[in-house]
Amino acid sequence: MTVLVTGGAGYIGSHMVLALQDAGRDVVVVDDLSTGLRTAVPAAVPLVVGCVGDETLMGQVIKDYHVEAIAHFAGSIVVPESVADPIDYYLNNTVRSRALIAAAVAGGVKRFLFSSTAAVYGEASSEPLSEDAPLDPVSPYGASKLMTERMLADAGVAYGLSYGVLRYFNVAGADPHGRAGQSGARATHLIKVAAQTALGQRGHLDCFGEDYPTRDGTCVRDYIHVSDLARAHVLALDHLADGADSFVANCGYGRGASVKEVIAAVKRASGVDFPVRKAPRRDGDPASLVADPSRIRATLGWRAEHDDLDAIVASALAWEASLAGARRAAA
Ligand SMILES: NC(=O)c1ccc[n+]([C@@H]2O[C@H](COP(=O)([O-])OP(=O)(O)OC[C@H]3O[C@@H](n4cnc5c(N)ncnc54)[C@H](O)[C@@H]3O)[C@@H](O)[C@H]2O)c1
Ligand SMILES: O=c1ccn([C@@H]2O[C@H](COP(=O)(O)OP(=O)(O)O[C@H]3O[C@H](CO)[C@@H](O)[C@H](O)[C@H]3O)[C@@H](O)[C@H]2O)c(=O)[nH]1
């Protein structure tokens, strides 16, 4: 069985490629390299540079590589960017996913995993959030993902496509063996930006909003280690291959950390007391998002191996330092 990993040159997709390789699976990657890097794809894995919205190309890849399952990570991911340019997010995340789903159905692909997000819930109506909580995104990013979830549900009924929708909470950290991490130069994620600041690559860190209704006024998120997340996907593919029903599952640990707590963890791990500036709220940010992970545990038998904020931060710092070292060596 060959697994097509879209977005496999990106942060989470590259960890999925490693997890599949570690499990002895055949993999092909499609990525347009808009934010991903060619070097993130291991040399032994074929990389087709192209857009998932190109239905003809996707059909050809499915045929050429005998693709039986797709793990669809490709997409645009920055919440405030989606508020500023919603049409672009509906194009890249919704319209282009439609083309990929159409090619999957036409090409006889049996299983489909989709990278969805906690952003489909909007402002949390309860905590922790179960999959049955109301779906009411407060950003175009969340809405663009929810539309794709809906397309998959309808395609499942109409064409018998088996799917797993994985709603990620905040993904962070790097491969414990140092093979991959978050490399994109324009990354905006809190832990990545804090690690860069600790290493002196940025002068300060902005703390976006300190007046949220949370324990210390800053936003709370459920940070999940990227390798735990990738392993959940491998389990999900096996689950569907065993003939199980399609499913939707939250991916998180069930515990939240505030922005201030994350900053403290990065300062602790790095030993650097970098400057933090109070900044206005960022558009599209819900106050708190914490997962109820009961369903993914029960459905896939998934257990966290890296549920420790300090360890997550340490792996992100180690990856950031290795990127800096590689840049120095190349200069
Ligand atoms: N990082 C998180 O915390 C998080 C949380 C929830 C959901 N997600 C979802 O996980 C997926 C992966 O996110 P990531 O953090 O690895 O981001 P990323 O930007 O590192 O990876 C996305 C990859 O997709 C590629 N890509 C984008 N549009 C494409 C297109 N039209 N055709 C082909 N390739 C395309 C990019 O070049 C990149 O390699 C996304 O769908 C994102 O919405 C991420
Ligand atoms: O320099 C920074 C960066 C972030 N934050 C705050 O940190 C929190 C987390 O932000 P970030 O790391 O950018 O993640 P989110 O905006 O929560 O979004 C991530 O997590 C979502 C799931 O919760 C995914 O859907 C998105 O794709 C992914 O980018 C938010 O309150 C931000 O306002 C700061 O204060 N300063």
Q: What is the pLDDT of residues 119-147, one digit of tens each?
A: 999 988 789 999 999 999 999 999 999 99
Residue having the nearest C-alpha atom to atom 31 of ligand 1: 51
Percent of the chain with pLDDT over 90: 95
Name the fold adopted by 2-173+222-251. Rossmann fold (3.40.50)
Distance (Å) of CA 96 to CA 52, 58, 144? 6, 11, 11
Please confirm, yes or no, whether 159 is among the known catalytic residues.
no
Query: Does any ligand 1 atom lie closer than 6 A to the CB of residue 12?
Result: yes
Distance (Å) of CA 127 to CA 121, 133, 247, 248, 290? 11, 9, 21, 18, 6
* Longest pairwise C-alpha distance within the chain: 56
Burial 81-92, CB ≥16 within 10 A → b, else e: bbbeeeeebbeb
Q: Is the pLDDT of residue 221 over 90?
A: yes
* CA 47 / ligand 2 centre spacing (Å): 29
Pocket of ligand 2 (CB under 6 A): 77, 79, 117-119, 168-170, 188-190, 193, 205-208, 219, 221, 259, 282, 285, 289
What is the structure's pLDDT at 47? Answer: 98
Confidence of residue 186 (pLDDT cuts 50, 70, 90): confident
Name the fold adopted by 190-220+254-330. UDP-galactose 4-epimerase; domain 1 (3.90.25)
The residue to mutate among 210, 221, 253, 313, having the most atoms of ligand 2 within 8 angstroms of its beta carbon, is: 221
Percent of the chain with pLDDT over 70: 100
* CA 12 / ligand 2 centre spacing (Å): 15
Q: Is the pLDDT of residue 11 over 80?
A: yes
The radius of gyration of the chain from alpha carbons, rounded to an integer in Å, stands at 19
Is the interface score ipTM higher than 0.95? yes
Confidence of residue 284 (pLDDT cuts 50, 70, 90): confident
The domain locations on the chain are 2-173+222-251, 190-220+254-330
Locate the ligand 1 atom nearest the alpha carbon of residue 74 and give its number: 24
Ligand nearest to the CA of 182: 1
Q: What is the mean pLDDT of residues 298-317?
A: 97
In terms of Cα–Cα distance, which of 94, 319, 37 is closest to 198?
Answer: 319
* CA 40 / ligand 1 centre spacing (Å): 13
Q: What is the mean pLDDT of residues 290-311?
A: 97
